[in-house]
Amino acid sequence: MNKRLKEKISEALTSVVPITAIVLALSFTAAPMPVASLMLFLVGAILLIVGVGLFSLGVDLAMMPIGDGVGGCIAKRRIWMAAPLCFVIGAVVTMAEPDLQVLARQVPAVPDRVIILTVAAGVGVFLAVALLRARLGWPLERMLMGAYAAVFLLALLVPRGFLAVAFDSGGVTTGPITVPFLIAMGAGLTASRQDADSEANRFGVVALCSIGPVLAVMVLGLCYNTTETLYTGFSIPELETTADLGLYFAAGFPVYLKEVALGLAPIAVCFLLFQLFALGLRRRQIIKILVGSVYTYSGLVLFLTGVNVGFMPAGHFIGAQVAQLPYNWVIIPIGMVVGWFIVAAEPAVHVLNQQVEGLTGGAVSQRAMGTTLSVGMSVALGLAMVRVLTGLSLLWFLVPGYVLALGLSLRVPKVFTAIAFDSGGVASGPMTATFLLPFAMGACESVGGNVLTDAFGVVAMVAMTPLVAIQVLGLVFQARTRREPVPQLPSGGGPDVFLFYDEAAEMEEMR
């Protein structure tokens, strides 16, 4: 086995085993599961481990170099040409995100195509805004304050049933396909800058692209003025033999083979066009990217099949069983424990953590980032379970959370604000949509709550709490720099700061 692939799969094993052990412990104690559901979950966990390993290697070899190269080429163009390019790239890549199709089906009163185009336009506009920020040096914290002020103003006017869908749209559009590409593209857009804030400007693209869909869907909700939303219920598959289990997974593979192909196709076309007209990479570099693309595609197919076929029924069943207990308040600490460990299984989290460790020269390690994100996710799930049990409005949690996060942005180093707001979009990935959301929905159904208002919104909660947690980490980092010498943030940056494949010189040749 390839040495690097072996290392990636070993990392994935370390990430997935803890959440698997927790689910197994619950299935033997508080939430006994049918054997069929347990077997689905275990097979899904195996697919998850292999899929995350393949995906991580593919990102290093293909997605990051493509995004960085495309961003570097766009950065050299004049604004009147570069901004429309960013809009088109952002919109097209977003339309292919698999989770966006699921979001669109939640609002039957609005045609699916309208919601998809609306969300895609929101991402496209804010990717163009990210370009202007990178080019003109606009401060991210002020942009975020203005954007979120508009979000919460509109939130007062949007129908309550539409509110959770709008906030969740920001999380589902920054999935495992788009996040690595956008992070690397942000690095490419700012690679030529040498000012004091150049490091901070390398992050923040995901943060801005997460706001666009929320604003766009809220405006759409005001135009349609509808409260007609729905959700698709879950049914536990009845499997009698291991052959039935194999057939059930076999039925899921073609779906995700197609979805991932459609999701990666816009990035592939984008790379082809830039290669023909701007990049001019050598044959060896192209082969490496093609091999990395195969790893990325294979890994995502295995990952999405595992979480959708294996994890989704398990999450829904456990949430429903625990919420039926006489002491159902225990779902709050259980949710916090699940949140702590599940964030490590998000593929894009590993990408962000590598970026941060590289940028800070190891001063903020992947382990520190992982622990901080686990704290944020744990708090998010605890608060989400409080909402499920009490029916409190989502705004009672989001408004104070974002006020605190934006207030911290005035105190912490700018780079940590950019990292924090990026981490919100990264943490709310497919594991949230396929395990945590079903977990909340199952619990909400058991306590007789309104699934659309009380369970939906968990994606928004997961996207909010890392904003505070990472900025608190920034305060700790800032305090350390005052007390004792620590590795300084690299100045200027250069492409090798964001390089995670073999030869640093190859990235230089891409520009």
DSSP class of residue 326 equals: T
User: Distance (Å, rounded) from C-alpha 356 to C-alpha 466?
Assistant: 14
Q: Give the orientation angle of helix 35-58 with respect to helix 242-274, to 10 degrees.
A: 20
Quote the pLDDT of residue 404: 94
167 vs 191, higher pLDDT: 167
Quote the pLDDT of residue 380: 93
Q: SS3 for 22-69, per residue?
A: HHHHHHCCCCCCCHHHHHHHHHHHHHHHHHHHHHHHHHHHHHHHHHHH
In a domain, 249, yes or no: no
3-class DSSP assignment, residue 341: helix
Q: Which of 114-118, 225-229, 247-251, 379-383 shows the lowest mean pLDDT across its residues?
A: 225-229
Give the confidence band of 385 by pLDDT, cuts at 50, 70, 90: very high
Q: Is the pLDDT of residue 498 over 50?
A: no
Give the confidence band of 356 by pLDDT, cuts at 50, 70, 90: confident
Give the confidence band of 338 by pLDDT, cuts at 50, 70, 90: very high
397 touches 463 (CB < 8 A): no
Contacts of 312 (CB under 8 A, 6+ apart): 234, 434, 435, 438
In a domain, 250, yes or no: no
Nearest 10 degrees: Cα torsion 39, 45, 50, 55: 130
Quote the pLDDT of residue 376: 93
HSE (side-chain half, CA atoms, 13 Å) at 191:
27
In a domain, 378, yes or no: yes
501 touches 293 (CB < 8 A): no
Q: Is the pLDDT of residue 492 over 50?
A: no
137: tokens are 């040096």
Give the chain's domain count.
Answer: 1
Give the confidence band of 403 by pLDDT, cuts at 50, 70, 90: very high
Give the confidence band of 494 by pLDDT, cuts at 50, 70, 90: very low
User: Distance (Å, rounded) from C-alpha 359 to C-alpha 489?
Assistant: 6
In a domain, 22, yes or no: yes
User: Distance (Å, rounded) from C-alpha 104 to C-alpha 92?
Assistant: 16
154-169: average pLDDT:
79
357 vs 147, higher pLDDT: 147
Range of the domain at 65: 11-234+255-499+506-510
In a domain, 3, yes or no: no
In the chain, the amino acid numbered 313 is P
Q: Is the pLDDT of residue 33 over 80?
A: yes
Q: pLDDT digits over 78-91, tens only? A: 888 888 988 998 88
pTM score, whole prediction: 0.80
Among 84-98, 325-339, 479-493, the range of highest mean pLDDT = 325-339
Quote the pLDDT of residue 297: 93
65 touches 289 (CB < 8 A): yes
User: Distance (Å, rounded) from C-alpha 354 to C-alpha 366?
Assistant: 6
User: Distance (Å, rounded) from C-alpha 211 to C-alpha 402?
Assistant: 12
In a domain, 228, yes or no: yes
User: Distance (Å, rounded) from C-alpha 394 to C-alpha 105?
Assistant: 21
Q: Which of 82-96, 234-248, 376-390, 435-449 shows the lowest mean pLDDT across its residues?
A: 234-248
Quote the pLDDT of residue 491: 43
Radius of gyration of the chain (CA): 21
Quote the pLDDT of residue 1: 53
Q: Is the pLDDT of residue 374 over 60?
A: yes
Q: pLDDT digits over 53-104, tens only? A: 898 888 888 888 888 888 888 878 888 888 898 899 888 888 777 667 666 6
User: Concatenated DSSP letters for 138-192?
Assistant: --HHHHHHHHHHHHHHHHTTS-HHHHHHHHHHHHHTS-TTHHHHHHHHHHHHHTT
Q: pLDDT digits over 198-223, tens only? A: 566 678 888 888 898 899 988 888 88
Task: Give the closest residue to 172 by CA, choosing from 458, 466, 469, 467.
Answer: 458
Give the confidence band of 50 by pLDDT, cuts at 50, 70, 90: very high
Give the confidence band of 313 by pLDDT, cuts at 50, 70, 90: confident
Query: CA angle 113-122-292, nearest 5°?
Result: 85
Give the confidence band of 232 by pLDDT, cuts at 50, 70, 90: low
Q: Which of 89-98, 104-113, 248-257, 320-329 shows the lowest mean pLDDT across its residues?
A: 104-113
Q: Is the pLDDT of residue 464 over 70?
A: yes
Q: Is the pLDDT of residue 489 over 60?
A: no
Q: Is the pLDDT of residue 490 over 90?
A: no
Q: pLDDT digits over 107-147, tens only? A: 666 777 888 888 889 999 999 998 888 888 788 888 999 99
Quote the pLDDT of residue 484: 62
Quote the pLDDT of residue 509: 45
Q: Residue 39 CB: number of other CB atoms within 10 A?
A: 17
163 vs 220, higher pLDDT: 220
408 vs 158, higher pLDDT: 408
6-29: average pLDDT:
88
Buried b (16+ CB within 10 A) or exposed e, 72-85: bbbbeeeeeebbeb
Quote the pLDDT of residue 113: 82
Q: Is the pLDDT of residue 168 over 50?
A: yes
User: Concatenated DSSP letters for 418-450?
Assistant: HHHHHHHHHHSSHHIIIIIHHHHHHHHHHTT--
In a domain, 141, yes or no: yes
Quote the pLDDT of residue 169: 79
Q: Is the pLDDT of residue 24 over 60?
A: yes
Give the confidence band of 428 by pLDDT, cuts at 50, 70, 90: confident
Mean pLDDT, the chain, as a whole number? 82
Give the confidence band of 329 by pLDDT, cuts at 50, 70, 90: very high
From residue 244, alpha-carbon distances to 33, 179, 308, 365, 491 in Å are: 18, 35, 17, 44, 57
Among 72-76, 266-270, 328-332, 434-438, the range of highest mean pLDDT = 328-332
In a domain, 248, yes or no: no
Q: pLDDT digits over 144-157, tens only? A: 999 999 998 998 88
User: Distance (Å, rounded) from C-alpha 172 to C-alpha 295?
Assistant: 23
Give the residue carrying structure tokens 């999450």. 315
